[in-house]
Amino acid sequence: MKTVTLTPEEVAFVRALVIHEDAEVLALNKPPGLSSQGGRIAVHTLDELLFAFAKSSGVRPRLVHRLDRDTSGVILTARSQPAAAFLGKAMMSRRVKKTYLAIVAPGAPDPREGGVEAPLRRESQGREAYVKVCEADHPDAQAASTRYRTLAANDTAALVELAPRTGRMHQLRVHMASLGRPIAGDPRYGGALVLGGAPVPRLMLHAAALTFPHPAGGERRIEAPVPPDMAALLDTLGLAAPSRWMAPA
């Protein structure tokens, strides 16, 4: 069994990310810049940092899903194999509901609320993987569905709420780009790198909430506050973040 030795600073760092824990699950608020798994840089991934919560047997929480490195927000882990299997099946049967916040530009999508039903396919260019909208009859097509609604907007940018109904790679990024409103800070899919005269620090995509059936019964909703870099850009743009997702003052 692989083990990872963490420094006291790393242990303190990952423990500070916890936003919910019980006997079955552990949820964290992943910061931007931290890879969920398989990072190429010589720092520990979130998956490795989970050794901070390992039992004496060496068993640690398991990631149930992943977020892109520059995406922040709620990420769920299971504390046992039965919990991991239960949540994995819930993911596969689309019983887990994800809600994201994103800053897109220029301005609000048209219409301001709606859905994107656009099949996607992966394409590799060297070591990089890209995703493109494609025809439904393409041999590599994967069905993809996203609901969106505009929360705040001006001529420069908009804050949108995104609810993916499928979990394809880069789905939200490509679907918003297909509407002519790519997510800010996403050069791969045409996102603006400067908005309102301010540099966009990273991909402006945040996993704000996760609603899921709990292994012990019932349903649980976990929310993560809007991170400081996203809140600062919204303030610069004169767009108000929903109070329910704002960190306490």
Please state, in angstroms and rounded to a whole number, the distance separating the CA atoms of residues 53 and 27: 12
Which is catalytic among the residues 22, 47, 68, 137? 68
Whether the CB-CB separation of 76 and 87 falls below 8 Å is answered with yes
Instruction: List Cβ<8 Å contacts ≥24 apart for 87-91.
Output: 87/25, 87/212, 87/215, 88/64, 90/212, 90/213, 91/64, 91/65, 91/167
Tell me whether residue 68 is one of the annotated catalytic residues.
yes
Please state, in angstroms and rounded to a whole number, the distance separating the CA atoms of residues 38 and 117: 30
At residue 60, the 3 state secondary structure works out as coil
Q: Which residue numbers are catalytic?
A: 68
